[in-house]
Amino acid sequence: MFSKITSGSIHGIQCVLTQVEVDIAKTMPAFDMVGMLSGEVKEAKERVRVALKNAGIKLPPVHITVNISPADIRKEGTAYDLPIAIGILVSLGYIPKEYAEDICVIGELGLSGEIKPVKGVLPIVKEAAEKGLKACVLPFENAREGAVIEGIRIIGVRDFAEAVEYFSAPEKEQADYAFEKKDGLAARELFEASRQEMEDFSDIAGQEACKRAALIAAAGFHHMLISGPPGAGKTMIARRLPGILPALTLEESLEVSTIYSVSGLLDKERCLITSRPFLAPHHTTTVTTLAGGGAVPKPGLFSLCHRGVLFLDELPEFSRECIEVMRQPLEEKKIQIARTQGTYVYPADFMLVAACNPCPCGFYPDRSRCHCSEREIRRYQNKISGPIRDRIDLNVTAETVDIKALNEQKGSISSGDLQKQVMQARKKQEERFKGTRLQFNSDISSKEIPLYCPLGKDEMKYMEKIFRTLNLSARSYHKILKVARTIADVEEEDRILVRHLGEAVCYRMQEDLEYV
Amino acid sequence: MYSDREILYFLQSIPGIGNKTIRQLWNYFPSSGQLFEAKEEELRQILKPGQTTSFLRAREALSPAEKMAELYRKGIRYYSIFDWDYPMRLRAVADAPLALFVWGELPPEDCMTAAVVGARYHSFYGAKHTKYYSGLLAEKEIGVVSGMAKGIDSIAQEAAIEKGGKTYAVLGCGVDVCYPEESRKLYEKIPLHGGIISEYLPGTLPQAGLFPQRNRIISALGDILLVMEAKEKSGTLITVDMALEQGKEIWALPGRADDALSAGCNRLIAQGAGILASGADFMGELDLLKEKYEKKKGAGGRCGWKSGILKPEGAGNLKPESAGNLKAEGSGILLAEPRASDSAKEADLDAAILSLLRYTPLSLEAVHDGLYKKTRVSRSVQELSVRLLDLCMEGKIRQVNGGFYITV
C-alpha cells in the first residue's frame, strides 16, 4: 500500500515542503530510501525500524520503499524520521489514510521512541501555514517555536506513542491534542511581551561627536567607522546602536528568527528574536564563521546579525579575507554560498560598525606618544581596503574622556530620545522611497543622487567651494550628499541646507593619509 | 702607474678591507705605487690572511683605472682626500672621510650651507617650521644639507627644492641605495637640485652603525646647524655634538616646555644656541652669517646660483612679510577678526576654536570637549562641525587625516 506524508526541508533559509512517500510491497523484505538523501537522512531507516519495534509495533516482513520528493533537492537533517515512521504505519494500515492528510510532520526519533527537537522549525511551520495545511506535528520541545506562527494547529509530541495516538484519533478529536496556546504565545503577543531592555546612550559621558554620528548612522542605516585610541569608548558606542534603531517589525522579527531557527540558535523559551541582533566577533574569527558555509552550509554571522548591527572591533586586525568577504553583503545585502549540491543564499542586511585605532600603537597623531613609522601607519590603515572604505559613509574619531569632564558634563541624551529622532528620519525616508526598492538613504545609488538629494543654488555653490578647497573625489561627493540627506531628515528639513552639507563633510572618510 | 685616488678607490672596493686598514697600509708603504705592487709577504705584515687573498684577487681582476671608469659610467663622482676638489669643509674634520661618492654635485666651496636636522617622528609644528626655515635658507641661496631621513630631514630638503634652492643629502648607505624607501621621490629629485653624498661604496646597504658616522659629514658640510625638533636623547643631538666639536654655530627651534619633542631644542637654547623664534630676525642674522662665511672663503659676489644661469624657477616666492604673520600666530594671539557679515556669536566661536587648535591635531570630539572646558558652554556637534569646515575653507585651519584639525 502507498501513503504520502507532508514534511519540510530547509534550503538556505527557505523552506520547501516535501512529500514523504512510503510504499509497502509483500515481496522480499527490504528497506530502501531514495530522493537525493544525505547520510543522516538515510540513517533514518535504522532509527525508524528500532523505534517502531520499541513502541510495540511489529513490522511484517515486507519491502518498504521510501521516496522523498521533490527528488531533485538534497534532503538534510534528522527531521524525516517521524514522517517516515508515520508513513509506514499509514501504509501498513495502522493509521487511516485520511487522518494523516494535510498535516505537516517533522521530528527526530530516538531508538526508545522518544522524539527529539530539530532545527529550522519556524520556517517549516510558516511555510505549512501559508500553504494552508491544517496542523503540524513536531517535537514537543519545538512546539513553542512553532506556536509563534498563527493560523495552524501545533501538536507537540514527546514520544512516538503520543504521535500514533494523535494520528489514530478521528479528526474531530484531533483538535484536543493541539498545543495549548497559553503555554506558548502567538507571535504578536510574544513580540510585544519580550522587548528587551538595552544599554542606554545616557550612560556615556561626553563623546558628543560620536553620539551624533551614531544617530545619523542609525537614521540612514549608514555604515560607520569609529577610530580612536584604546579605551576611548568605541565599543560602548557600538553596543548602544541597536537600541536607537527603530524596533524590529513583526515581519522583520520573523525573518531574523527564521535565520536563528535554521541555525538552531533560537532560545527555547523566547522563541522569537524581538530585538535587533548585535554581534561583535573577535578579530581572530574565520571567513566561514562570518560568511557562513561548511560542507552543509549554515548561516554565518553576517546573516545572524541581519537587520541588526555587526560590530568589528579592531577592523585592521581582521584577516584580509575576512575583510574582503564583506564586500558582497555590504553591496547586495545577502551572501551567496556555492556548493556542489546547489547555491545557498542567506540574507545579510546589517549595519556595519567598525572600530580601529589610528595606528598600531593607537596614539597617532599625538607624536609625543606615538612612535609608529609612516610605513607602519600606512600598512595598518591600508588593511581596510578601498572597496570596504567606499562603503563606509561615516567616519568619526573618539577621544579618551578625562575623568573631570566625565563628572562635569551632564544631561547626556538618552537612547529613547535618539530613537525618536531616528524614527522621524525613517518616516521621511519611507515617504520618499515609497514604491521603490530603496529603504534608506544609504541605499541611494550614485545615479539616483540627483533625484533624491537635489541641491539649491547656494548649496551647489557651497559644495563647489568645498570641493576646490578640500580637493575631494567624486566618490566622497556622493557619500557626503547621502549623509547630508540623512542629517536633513533627522532635522526634519525637506531640503538639504548648507549646514547639513557642512556637517556631512566633517564625517567623511579620509581618502589618503596626509603624513606630516 | 696609477694615481693615488685610483689606488685608494681600488683599496676601498676590496671586500673586507675597511678605512682603518687602508690608513694602516698607506702609512706602512712609502708610496701608493709600492702599496699596489706589494708582494704577498709584505701585505701579510698588515693584512689578515683573508684580506690578503681578497687583495690579490682584486689586483688580478680589474685595474684601478678600469674600476674608476666603471664608477664614472654609473654617473657617480669620486672625490678622494688627495684631490684638490675634495670639500674644504671636510678636510678640517678630525676623522675626515677618505673619499666621497657623489651623485649630483658637492656644495660649492664659496656658497654658504646650513645643515637642517631633526626628529624622524616629528609633530605638525616641527614640520611647518622646518618648511618655513628651509624655505628661507633656499631663498637666501644657502644650500640645505641633511640626511634624507624620514621626518624633519626629508621635509627640509623637500622644502628647499620647492623654493628653488639647493640641497645635499648625506646618506648612511651607498649613493645608489634609496633609504628610506618612502623618500624615493625626493631621492630622485635631489641630484638635480644639489647632490647625494656618501662616504660608503655604492651598493652598501643601510646599517644602524653607519648612520651616526654620516652625521659628522652632515655637520661638517653645513656652515651652521639648524635643529628643528629633537627629544632630550636623540640621534639628532649626536649631530649637534659633532657640530660643536667642529666649531659650528647652532640654531634651534624653541618649543613648549612640556613638549617631549622640543625638549632637546629647548635645552640647546638654554645652553646658548641661537633661537629660531622669528623668521625676520633669522633672515637678518643670515645676511651677516652669509657675509661672514662667504668672505672667509674669498668668494665675494661669485656665489649663489641666483646670479648665474642656474637660477631656478619659483625662487623668491617667499615674501619677508610672511615672517611677520608667523610671529603673530606663534604667540597664540587671537587674530581672527570678526567678519562683518557674520554674527558676533559665530566670530566668538571661531576665535575660541582658533585659540584651541595647535599643531597637535585635534579631532572633532577633542575640539568639542576642549571648547567646553575653556568656555563652559556646551556647543552642539552640528554647529561646531559647520564652523570648523568654514574655517578650513577660509584657510585658517586645516583638516588632516580624516577627522583631525590643526592650525595652518
Confidence of residue B341 (pLDDT cuts 50, 70, 90): very low
* Stronger pLDDT, B273 or B296, i.e. the higher one: B273
Name chain A contacts of B392, Cβ cutoff 8 Å. 469-470
Spatial distance between the Cα atoms of B189 and B193, rounded to a whole number of angstroms: 7
All 3 cell numbers of residue B342?
557674520
pLDDT at A406: 61
Q: In what order do the strands lie in the sheet with A309-312?
A: A278-279, A309-312, A351-356, A224-227, A394-397
Length of chain A: 516
**Cβ atoms of A483 and A504 closer than 8 Å:** yes
Hey, is the C-beta of A493 within 8 angstroms of any chain B C-beta? no
User: Which residue among A368, A405, A510 places its CB closest to the CB of B373?
Assistant: A405
Name chain A contacts of B121, Cβ cutoff 8 Å. 367, 370-371, 373
Spatial distance between the Cα atoms of B256 and B241, rounded to a whole number of angstroms: 23
User: Which residue among A210, A405, A470 places its CB closest to the CB of B392?
Assistant: A470
pLDDT at A482: 93
User: Which residue among A397, A470, A487 places its CB closest to the CB of B364?
Assistant: A397
**Cβ atoms of A72 and A11 closer than 8 Å:** no
Kindly give the residue spans of alpha helices, DSSP state H, lying in B246-332.
Answer: 263-270, 279-296, 321-330
Confidence of residue B308 (pLDDT cuts 50, 70, 90): very low
Hey, is the C-beta of A49 within 8 angstroms of any chain B C-beta? no
Would the CB atoms of B389 and A513 count as touching at under 8 Å? no
Distance of residue B155 Cα from the nearest chain A Cα, in angstroms: 9
Would the CB atoms of A506 and B369 count as touching at under 8 Å? no
Hey, is the C-beta of A287 within 8 angstroms of any chain B C-beta? no
Distance of residue B152 Cα from the nearest chain A Cα, in angstroms: 9
Residue of B nearest to A406 (CA): B369
**How distant, in Å, are the alpha carbons of A223, A292, A315 from that of A285?**
20, 12, 11
Would the CB atoms of A466 and B378 count as touching at under 8 Å? no
**Cβ atoms of B117 and B154 closer than 8 Å:** no
Q: How many Cβ atoms from other residues are within 10 Å of residue A374's Cβ?
A: 19
Hey, is the C-beta of A476 within 8 angstroms of any chain B C-beta? no
pTM equals 0.70
Distance of residue B371 Cα from the nearest chain A Cα, in angstroms: 12
Confidence of residue B350 (pLDDT cuts 50, 70, 90): confident
Would the CB atoms of B385 and A506 count as touching at under 8 Å? yes
Hey, is the C-beta of A234 within 8 angstroms of any chain B C-beta? no
Name chain B contacts of A365, Cβ cutoff 8 Å. 124, 360-361, 400-401, 404
Strand partners, A334: A347
Spatial distance between the Cα atoms of A310 and A239, rounded to a whole number of angstroms: 10
Element (H, E) at A50: helix A44-54
Would the CB atoms of B401 and A508 count as touching at under 8 Å? no
Name chain A contacts of B386, Cβ cutoff 8 Å. 498-499, 502-503, 506
Distance of residue B183 Cα from the nearest chain A Cα, in angstroms: 11
Hey, is the C-beta of A410 within 8 angstroms of any chain B C-beta? no
Spatial distance between the Cα atoms of B106 and B86, rounded to a whole number of angstroms: 9
Spatial distance between the Cα atoms of B21 and A183, rounded to a whole number of angstroms: 96
User: Which residue among B368, B389, B404 places its CB closest to the CB of A502?
Assistant: B389
Would the CB atoms of B121 and A469 count as touching at under 8 Å? no
The alpha carbon of residue A6 and the mean position of all alpha carbons in its chain are separated, in whole angstroms, by 28
Phi first, then psi, for residue B139 (nearest 5°) are: -60, -40
Confidence of residue B169 (pLDDT cuts 50, 70, 90): very high
Would the CB atoms of A209 and B381 count as touching at under 8 Å? yes
**What is the maximum alpha-carbon separation in chain B?**
92
User: Which residue among B373, B389, B400 places its CB closest to the CB of A514?
Assistant: B400
| A397 Cβ contact list (under 8 Å, min separation 6) | A209, A226, A227, A228, A358, B363, B364, B365, B366, B402, B403, B404
The candidate with the shortest Cα–Cα distance to A34, out of A12, A9, A4, A65, is A65
Name chain B contacts of A503, Cβ cutoff 8 Å. 381-382, 385-386
CA-based torsion, B351, B356, B362, B368: positive or negative: negative
pLDDT at B339: 42
Would the CB atoms of A405 and B372 count as touching at under 8 Å? yes
Q: How many Cβ atoms from other residues are within 10 Å of residue A339's Cβ?
A: 13
- As averages over each run of 10 residues, the pLDDT of chain A (516 residues) reads 91 90 93 91 93 89 94 88 94 90 93 92 92 91 86 89 86 68 53 65 85 94 91 88 88 90 81 86 91 83 93 92 91 87 87 91 79 83 84 89 64 85 93 90 90 92 86 84 94 92 86 55
**Cβ atoms of A344 and A263 closer than 8 Å:** no
B9-23 tens-digit pLDDT? 999 999 888 888 898
Spatial distance between the Cα atoms of B118 and B253, rounded to a whole number of angstroms: 10
**How distant, in Å, are the alpha carbons of A161, A224, A307, A319, A406 from that of A351?**
48, 8, 7, 20, 29
**What is the maximum alpha-carbon separation in chain A?**
89
**Cβ atoms of A324 and A386 closer than 8 Å:** no
Determine the 3-state secondary structure of A447 from DSSP.
helix
All 3 cell numbers of residue B257?
616646555
Hey, is the C-beta of A229 within 8 angstroms of any chain B C-beta? no
Hey, is the C-beta of A205 within 8 angstroms of any chain B C-beta? no
Would the CB atoms of B364 and A209 count as touching at under 8 Å? yes
Distance of residue B233 Cα from the nearest chain A Cα, in angstroms: 14
Element (H, E) at A5: strand A2-11
The candidate with the shortest Cα–Cα distance to A305, out of A349, A249, A267, A270, is A349
Spatial distance between the Cα atoms of A459 and B236, rounded to a whole number of angstroms: 50
**Cβ atoms of B262 and B254 closer than 8 Å:** yes
Name chain A contacts of B381, Cβ cutoff 8 Å. 208-209, 211-212, 503
User: Which residue among A395, A503, A514 places its CB closest to the CB of B403?
Assistant: A395
The candidate with the shortest Cα–Cα distance to A398, out of A259, A232, A286, is A232
All 3 cell numbers of residue B200?
660608503
Strand partners, A345: A336
The candidate with the shortest Cα–Cα distance to B3, out of B28, B30, B31, is B31
Spatial distance between the Cα atoms of A33 and A41, rounded to a whole number of angstroms: 9
Spatial distance between the Cα atoms of A273 and A262, rounded to a whole number of angstroms: 13
Please give the share of chain B, as a percent, with pLDDT higher than 70. 88
User: Which residue among B182, B261, B365 places its CB closest to the CB of A210?
Assistant: B365
Kindly tell me if the per-residue pLDDT of B46 is higher than 50.
yes
Would the CB atoms of A209 and B401 count as touching at under 8 Å? no
Spatial distance between the Cα atoms of A335 and A348, rounded to a whole number of angstroms: 6
**Cβ atoms of A353 and A226 closer than 8 Å:** yes
Name chain A contacts of B127, Cβ cutoff 8 Å. 516
Hey, is the C-beta of A468 within 8 angstroms of any chain B C-beta? no
- Inter-chain CB pairs, A–B, below 8 Å: 121
Name chain A contacts of B388, Cβ cutoff 8 Å. 506
Residue of B nearest to A369 (CA): B260
B77-109 tens-digit pLDDT? 999 998 888 999 998 888 889 999 999 999 998
Would the CB atoms of B365 and A506 count as touching at under 8 Å? no
All 3 cell numbers of residue A449?
543622487
* Stronger pLDDT, B324 or B191, i.e. the higher one: B191
Spatial distance between the Cα atoms of A373 and B180, rounded to a whole number of angstroms: 11
**How distant, in Å, are the alpha carbons of A195, A220, A253, A324, A430 from that of A423?**
17, 10, 18, 32, 10
DSSP per position, A378-429: HHHHHTS-HHHHHT--EEEE--PPPHHHHHH---PPPHHHHHHHHHHHHHHH
Hey, is the C-beta of A231 within 8 angstroms of any chain B C-beta? no
Phi first, then psi, for residue A310 (nearest 5°) are: -105, 120
User: Which residue among B182, B386, B401 places its CB closest to the CB of A365?
Assistant: B401
Residue of B nearest to A510 (CA): B402
Q: How many Cβ atoms from other residues are within 10 Å of residue A406's Cβ?
A: 11
Distance of residue B71 Cα from the nearest chain A Cα, in angstroms: 33
pLDDT at A143: 87
In a mutational test of the A interface, the residue from B128, B152, B372, B389 whose CB has the highest number of chain A CBs within 10 Å is B389
B99-148 tens-digit pLDDT? 999 999 999 988 999 999 999 888 889 999 999 999 999 999 999 999 99
Would the CB atoms of B386 and A499 count as touching at under 8 Å? yes
Would the CB atoms of B121 and A371 count as touching at under 8 Å? yes
**Cβ atoms of A394 and A483 closer than 8 Å:** yes
pLDDT at B297: 59
Would the CB atoms of A399 and B369 count as touching at under 8 Å? yes
Hey, is the C-beta of A316 within 8 angstroms of any chain B C-beta? no
Q: How many Cβ atoms from other residues are within 10 Å of residue B363's Cβ?
A: 24
